[in-house]
Structure 1
Amino acid sequence: MYQTIVVAIDGSDCGDRALAEAIQLTAMFKARLEIVHVVDNSYLKYDMGYGSLADLRPDLVEGGRSLLAEAAAKARAAKVECHTQLVDEILALGDIATAIDAAAQRVHADLVVVGTHGRRGVRRLVMGSVAEGLVQGSKVPVLLVRAPRAP
């Protein structure tokens, strides 16, 4: 059914759960896993000239590489074929959902797996929702994996 599965990771608990789900699905369907991390460059919109926020970028890129290496190790430990992709598109300025969808299109993905915090109301409006953006804009099916509920 699925030949290529894309999972977006960000280092969060729900991102880790999405990775675990994607690894299971990839193994079940004997598919190929594409692990994607998008560097969030949205902070550049707020650079007011009081010091350089652009100095954050190398750390964000290196953090993304580290996340991808850890995720690939988990996939390989489960004997899942995988490839990693670091997306660092400065001009996207934080449009992470579109960047994930574009990465899925590049590899001809059959499914995108992404974690969601399940925020509602004002919290969702203030923080935005990558998952919602993917569901509304993706050209391929999207599987949402919810974060564990707080006790």
Structure 2
Amino acid sequence: MYKSILVALDGSDTSHQVLEAALRLARENHALLHPVYVVDMPTIAFGTPGFNPVPIREAMRTEGELVIADARDRMAKLRINGSPRVVDTSSLSEDIAQRLQLSAIACDADLIVMGTHGRRGFRRFVLGSVAERVVRGAPCAVLLIPSSAQQPAADQTAAASHSAQKELP
């Protein structure tokens, strides 16, 4: 039984599926739900002479506020308690995965629910996998919801129930 669930949102189609799964789990377990949208500025952006990251960070924060407002509304309709929020990476060396892990610790989550976009091969090598990095350092179990692009919609429920999990002793 879960008492506190952190759900990682990014505004993608997969993120909508992730929120649905997290809402269902929170409702079934009478758990607190903590939707989180992480605003991150890639370090490469700061190395460009004359580059002003403020407008991009503000745009990302605005998008995050919209995503979190939607999550808050859906939680209210289902009478699910929790603390939806937009968080920023705190330094150039911190990435999204680390911020999600720290957020899970802060809300005493016993489950992290997040999507995986299904990148493979060279795209995964170049872009990395936030989901993989979260799983490797997670302070609790992690439920990964695959992107809808990976499989037909009818298989979504089965995939969600068989997604990768990591549990610490």
Correspondence for 1:30: 30
Indicate conservation of the 8 Å contact 1:39/1:87, yes or no: yes
Structure 2 distance, partners of 1:120, 1:56, is 28
Q: CA deviation at 1:50?
A: 3.5
How many residues end up aligned between the 2 structures? 150
Correspondence for 1:102: 102
| Alpha-carbon displacement from aligned partner over 1:59-89 (angstroms, at most 9, x marks no partner) | 2112211110111111222222231121112
Correspondence for 2:45: 46
Structure 2 distance, partners of 1:118, 1:71, is 23
Identity %: 35
Which amino acid in the other structure matches residue 100 of structure 2? I
State the Cα RMSD in Å: 1.7
Write the mapping of 1:86-97 to structure 2, written as runs, cut at 5 A: 86-92=86-92, 95-97=95-97
Correspondence for 1:78: 78
Which amino acid in the other structure matches residue 129 of structure 1? S
Correspondence for 1:129: 129
Structure 2 distance, partners of 1:63, 1:110, is 27
Structure 2: segments with no counterpart, 5+ residues: 153-169
| Alpha-carbon displacement from aligned partner over 1:11-46 (angstroms, at most 9, x marks no partner) | 00111111110000000001110111100211x432
Equivalent residue of 2:139, what SS?
coil
Which amino acid in the other structure matches residue 102 of structure 2? A
Q: CA deviation at 1:112?
A: 0.2
Runs (4 or more) in structure 1 with deviation over 6 Å come to none
Structure 1 distance, partners of 2:94, 2:14, is 19
Q: What's the TM-score, normalizing by structure 1? A: 0.91
User: Quick check: 58-67 or 138-147, which moved more?
Assistant: 58-67
Which amino acid in the other structure matches residue 46 of structure 1? A
Which amino acid in the other structure matches residue 4 of structure 1? S
Q: Is 1:115 matched up with 2:115?
A: yes
User: Quick check: 82-91 or 47-56, which moved more?
Assistant: 47-56
Structure 2 distance, partners of 1:92, 1:7, is 23
